[in-house]
Amino acid sequence: MGAYILRRILLMIPTLFGIMAISFVVVQFAPGGPVEQVIAKLTNQGGDASDRLGGGGGGDMSGGGLDVGTGGDSKYRGAQGLDPEFIKKLEKQFGFDKPPLERFGLMLWNYARFDFGNSYFRDISVVDLILEKMPVSISLGLWITFLSYLISIPLGIRKAVKDGSGFDMWTSAIVIVGYAIPGFLFAILLMILFAGGSFYNWFPLRGLISDNWWDLPWPQRILDYFWHLVLPLTAMTLSAFATTTLLTKNSFLDEIRKQYVVTARAKGLSERQVLYGHVFRNAMLIVIAGFPGAFISSFFTGSLLIENIFSLDGLGLLGFRSVVERDYPVVFANLYIFSLIGLFVSLISDLTYTWIDPRIDFERRDV
């Protein structure tokens, strides 16, 4: 097993390199980079924009008496009329004074040491920014995973036992419809119905806690927290439990049809003893082993649009704003960190199989 783990860890290096390389190449051809972002703000908002944008990148963008009104040609759209020296200072500020290969190599070297630098447009390090937003996403991810498993496992077992019955049919229809409805669309519907839209004003529209949360006694803090969670979690859980429900059902059906179940029944064991004493462990293998991946999926991918709709200041909203603003240190740091986490979670999922069922031995398989 040690050799298998080592091989998997070594394979993470080229995988991570490929992810970062492809993303870096795509970014090189994407219009509206950070230099263009600053130029656009300068031309639209006046010369004082350079003062407001100077703090985040760690260099001197404040202007300091720079003349931005002289003529000059530039490769950047909208830069006509700005001093070429000012443009060069912007390029140096963002690191674009170096060739692409050098910038990519420097980024990989820094990231290998977990040095992610500072945000371009916020006066804060990327790590601190991610840590600041992480509690919201962790909160959502934990509750979504917990609720989806709490619903899907009992429902999947019941559907397997009642396979082909009316209960199985109508629950399958509900699950499929729920999975087909986009989460963001359902979130908008919930907002209209229950968050002060055209009907009721039962739940808050934005945020994870109220503005006066710290002034409330702790029982009211707990209630306020869950009050804010109702609509986002409902929107995100709608489709989250569908895959696990069907996976649980099919896994139980496969086990129920095996010979050892027939033997257990022939020995006079009740259906409950057969189901939970023999079938459950084998059937839940694939479901439990997929838990780490399910958590990571709900943690990072499922919350992007929901966080935007309900103004939840988490990693999804941070990633979206960073892409829009071309805040590349934040974009690439998120990509690097969560790709690395995803690769390790994939390894943990495989190891979970061997922990649950020792008969599985990855040492005998090619990676």
User: d(Cα 165, Cα 24) in Å, to the nearest integer?
Assistant: 53
Q: pLDDT higher for 13 or 199?
A: 13
CA distances from 40 to 46, 47, 77, 82, 246 (A): 10, 11, 9, 11, 50
HSE-up of residue 22 (Cα within 13 Å, Cβ side): 6
Split at pLDDT 50, 70, 90, the class of 46 is: very low
Residue 348: its pLDDT value, please?
80
Options 3.30.300.30, 3.40.50.2300, 1.10.3720.10, 3.40.720.10; CATH of 127-364: 1.10.3720.10
CB 238 within 8 A of CB 198: no
Q: 44 versus 147: which is more confidently predicted?
A: 147
Give the number of C-alpha atoms closer than 13 A to the C-alpha of residue 107, restricted to the C-beta side: 25
Other beta carbons less than 10 A from residue 335's beta carbon: 17
Give pLDDT tens digits for 160-191.
Answer: 888 888 898 999 898 888 888 877 788 888 88
Nearest partner of 316 among 186, 127, 145, 133, judged by Cα: 133
Q: How many angstroms separate the CA atoms of 26 and 273, rounded?
A: 56
pLDDT tens profile 293-325: 666 666 655 567 777 788 788 887 888 888 888
> Under DSSP, is residue 164 helix (H, G, I), strand (E, B) or coil?
coil
Other CB atoms within a 10 A radius of the CB of residue 87 amount to: 20
- pLDDT above 60: residue 50: no
Look at 155-164, 252-261, 272-281, 324-333 and tell me which has the smallest mean pLDDT.
272-281
Cα separation values, 55 from 52, 77, 123, 365, Å: 7, 24, 5, 53
Percent of the chain with pLDDT over 70: 80
Average pLDDT (220-233) is 87
Compute how many other C-beta atoms are within 10 angstroms of the C-beta atom of residue 239.
Answer: 19
Residue 177 CB: number of other CB atoms within 10 A?
12
pLDDT for the residue 77: 59
Task: Flag whether pLDDT at 354 surpasses 60.
Answer: yes
Query: Can you tell me the mean pLDDT for 241-266?
Result: 84
Write out pLDDT tens, residues 72-112: 455 665 556 566 777 777 777 777 778 888 889 999 999 99
Which pair of tokens denotes residue 292? 């780490």
Q: What is the mean pLDDT of residues 338-349?
A: 82
Inform me whether the pLDDT recorded for 51 exceeds 50. Answer: no
Give residue 347's pLDDT: 83
Residue 334 DSSP SS3: helix
pLDDT at 148 over 70: yes
pLDDT at residue 17, rounded to an integer:
92
Q: Which of 41-50, 280-289, 337-346 has the lowest mean pLDDT?
A: 41-50
Confidence category of residue 14, pLDDT binned at 50, 70, 90: very high
Give the pLDDT confidence score for residue 63 in this predicted structure.
33
* Spans of all domains in the chain: 33-115, 127-364
The DSSP 8-state label assigned to residue 363 in this structure reads G
The pLDDT of residue 298? 64
In this prediction, residues 138-164 reach a mean pLDDT of: 85
Dump pLDDT digits (tens) for 109-128: 999 988 888 888 888 889 99
Mean predicted lDDT score pLDDT of the chain: 77
Whole-structure pTM value: 0.71
